Each structure stands twice: as C-alpha cells, then as structure tokens.
Chain A
Amino acid sequence: AQSVTQPDIHITVSEGASLELRCNYSYGATPYLFWYVQSPGQGLQLLLKYFSGDTLVQGIKGFEAEFKRSQSSFNLRKPSVHWSDAAEYFCAVGAYGGAQKLVFGQGTRLTINP
C-alpha cells in the first residue's frame, strides 16, 4: 500500500529565505506525485505534479519539486518565500491504473517570519 511521510510538522522561515519541504513516499511502482497547498479556511490547491519525464517539475507560485527515485523523495522548493506562502502543504501519492485515490502525508505547516 502507498504511504507518504512528511517529516516536518511545522517549519518557520523568514520572508525572502529559501524553502524546502520534505516528502518521502512508499509505493511499489513508479508513483504519481502531487503537492497541494491549503490556506486557512480554504480548500486544497494543486501546486505541481509529477507523472513521468523530467524529474524536476515546475509549479505555480514559483514552486518546484524534484523526484528522486533512489531516495523515494519528492521535495518541494522555493528560492524565496513570500508572506503569502504561509499555509499548510500536503504531499500526495496516487496509484497507477484502474480506480485511483490519493494518499496524503500529514502535512507541513509553514509559518513566515517578517
């Protein structure tokens, strides 16, 4: 069965600093990987996804993520965070074929210091 681990429950960074949110997955085949962001009181917004091909994927709002098969990781990065990036970030893995579901990590809450 698939599983996702986000080791950091809460991260605080200063505005303008770089950011890396960690995500490790467990899945027997090549996974589909997603990062979603949830602002307070809001739904989940897709930041980026990896299905195949280039292992470095670009997303919205200046985010990128790199798929590393050898490390079973899909870390999310941003070179310079803005106060509006404060939110909860979820990594998810989906399964190939047939019906699908997403398995989510526990989320990482990002706080931005001014």
Chain B
Amino acid sequence: DSGVTQTPKHLITATGQRVTLRCSPRSGDLSVYWYQQSLDQGLQFLIQYYNGEERAKGNILERFSAQQFPDLHSELNLSSLELGDSALYFCASSSASGIETQYFGPGTRLLVL
C-alpha cells in the first residue's frame, strides 16, 4: 500500500459525459501527478500540481482539467468523453516538486461506452 488513495476504482460512463476522479496523496506529500495508461499510448504524464499550483503539463487534452485543493487532494475532470478516453488513470504523489520518488495509487479504470 503506497498511501495514495484514488476513488472511484471503476467508472463506466457514456460518450459526451463528464466525470471527476479523485486522489488523496500520501500524508505530507505536496506534489500530485496524474498519468493515463492506455493500450496504445502506454503510460503518459498528464499534469503535476505542487501545493495547489499547477507545476507541469504533459499531453493533457483541453477537455481534461485538474486542480489541487488546500487539503492537498486533487481532482481530475474529464469532459466531453470519447471512446478513446477509456484508460486507467493513475495518481502519484511525492514530497516535493523536484525530482523525488513518485508513489502511485491503485488507479481508476474508466470505461467510456
């Protein structure tokens, strides 16, 4: 158990819908990262937040957005969902914003029908 929690574990929704994925980092960690794992793209970095502020962006679609709240939990919002958004979404956390070990949560499996 990494100490990173993600909810829900599974999510099934329809095209065009909007969903919110939630992540609670390890106690004391200030950085949260979001990754997408799909069969065709592999594991891709989406976005990083550090202590409430966006710190780095990867291949995140404009339909996707994230935020980190004062209690340091983070949410990833996915809107206008398409079939291709079906994937496993991981959250990871680390203690700082620079190079640190990232600890991963169990993931949220999203299926868009």
A99 near B50 (CB under 8 angstroms)? yes
Q: Report the number of A-B residue pairs with Cβ-Cβ less than 8 Å.
A: 64
Interface residues of A in 87-113 (CB under 8 A from B): 90, 92, 94-107
B105 touches which of A43, A100, A102, A103 (Cβ 8 Å): A43
Asked if residues B42 and A34 are in contact (CB atoms below 8 Å), the reply is: no
Asked if B2 and A100 sit within 8 Å, CB to CB, the answer is: no
**Majority SS at the chain B contact face:** strand
Residues of B in contact (CB 8 Å), total 27
Contacts of A103 in B (CB 8 A): 45
Among listed B66-74, B76-84, B95-103, interface-contacting one = B95-103
Residue of A nearest to B91 (CB): A43
- Could you tell me if B100 and A100 are in contact, using CB atoms closer than 8 angstroms? yes
- Mask, A12-55, CB within 8 Å of B = 1, is 00000000000000000000101010000011111001010000
How many residues from A make CB contacts under 8 Å with B?
26
Residues of B participating in the A interface, judged by any CB pair closer than 8 Å:
2, 4, 33, 35, 42-45, 48, 50, 55-56, 58, 90, 92, 94, 97-107
With A51-B99, A95-B99 already in contact, 9 other A-B pairs whose C-beta atoms are closer than 8 Å: A34-B101, A43-B2, A43-B104, A44-B90, A98-B56, A101-B33, A101-B58, A102-B45, A107-B42
Listed in ascending order, the chain A residues whose CB lies under 8 Å from chain B are 32, 34, 36, 42-46, 49, 51, 90, 92, 94-107
